[in-house]
Amino acid sequence: MIEQMMDQLRHDDPMMRFEAAQALGASNDPRAVAPLIGALSDENAKVQYAAVSGLVKLGDASAAKPIIDLLLSEPDSRLWELLKLNVGMRLRNGLLDMVQRGDVALADQLADVLASDMLDEQQVAFVIRLLGRTADARAVEMLIDRLLEDTPTIQVAAAEALGSIGDPSAVAPLMLFLTDDADTVREVAIEALGRLGDTRAVRPLIEALKDDAEWVRRAACVALGVLGDRSAMEPLATALKDETTLVQDAAFDAIKQLSENYQ
């Protein structure tokens, strides 16, 4: 059956190739990875999209580089347009998960692209997130500069990337954004501080439990649970009475995590 789908990828009719790419992606068969990587160069954008979608479903890390190569070689492509839509979020997140920590060659490639002016703001933000997933500490200084000086969209991406890399030098710059005007920037900065695991952030994160935005308060609960400092126990207990169940549930989970850590 899979051999038939592979053959169909070479059909003259793009709809047949599209259906074959979809079927291979749903096959859960590792033999489908190579032909789907080959289909990334198809002249039809729908076939390319189906190939990317299939590779993300299969989750093979070897497919990350070919997909990224395709995206960076054609920044004005229809594939990029589709990925930027809300419907493309699954594929963006899936591709992020396929990037391997320690991939120096990919980190170099992404850093070179960011140093150019070939991408728009959304594309730059996604490439920054990809770079963060490589965990390349050489990017920290550049990412801090982006965090401090760029647009909110780029700041959010830079904060996420810094959290992924985990370098302690990012703690102080990230704490500057706990009072940012943009809810999303505050939320992602808090999430990054939680991942960095530095207890210098505990007191500012306790203050963030009083933030006006519920998603920011939730992020603070989660981060405090991860940081594991018992001084957060009482403030988290207060957060159990928050006006939203979203924050209440996060506070409960954080208290449980802190309690288990000190048993």
Strands (E), 52-204: none
Q: What is the mean pLDDT of the chain?
A: 93
Q: Can you give the pLDDT at residue 160?
A: 97
Superfamily of domain 1-88: Leucine-rich Repeat Variant (1.25.10.10)
Q: Can you give the pLDDT at residue 207?
A: 96
Q: Which residues does 150 contact at the CB level (< 8 Å), separation at least 6?
A: 158
Q: Can you give the pLDDT at residue 238?
A: 96
What percentage of the chain's residues is helix, strand, coil (to nearest 5)? 80, 0, 20
Alpha-carbon dihedral angle through residues 48, 2, 95, 40, given to the nearest 10 degrees: -30
Q: CB-based burial of residue 122 (10 Å sphere; 0-12 exposed, 13-18 middle, 19+ buried)?
A: middle
Q: Can you give the pLDDT at residue 183?
A: 93
Residue 29: HSE in the Cβ half-sphere, 13 Å Cα cutoff: 15
Q: Domain 170-263 belongs to what architecture?
A: Alpha Horseshoe (1.25)
Q: Can you give the pLDDT at residue 137?
A: 96
**Within this chain, domains 1-88 and 170-263 share the same CATH topology:** yes
Please report the sign of the dihedral spanned by the C-alpha atoms of residue 20, residue 23, residue 25, residue 28.
Answer: negative
All structural domains of the chain with their residue ranges: 1-88, 99-165, 170-263
263 residues of the chain, pLDDT tens digit each? 788 888 888 888 999 999 999 999 999 999 999 999 999 999 999 999 999 999 999 999 999 999 999 999 999 998 899 888 888 899 999 999 999 999 999 999 999 999 988 899 999 999 999 999 999 999 999 999 999 988 999 999 999 999 999 999 999 999 999 999 999 999 999 999 999 999 999 999 999 999 999 999 999 999 999 999 999 999 999 999 999 999 999 999 999 999 887 65
- DSSP assignment of 51-66: HHHHHHHHT-GGGHHH
Asked whether the beta carbons of 109 and 72 are under 8 A apart, the reply is: yes
Predicted model pTM: 0.91
pLDDT in tens, 94-107: 999 999 999 999 99
Q: Can you give the pLDDT at residue 86?
A: 85
Asked whether the beta carbons of 134 and 102 are under 8 A apart, the reply is: yes
Q: Can you give the pLDDT at residue 42?
A: 92
Q: Can you give the pLDDT at residue 263?
A: 59
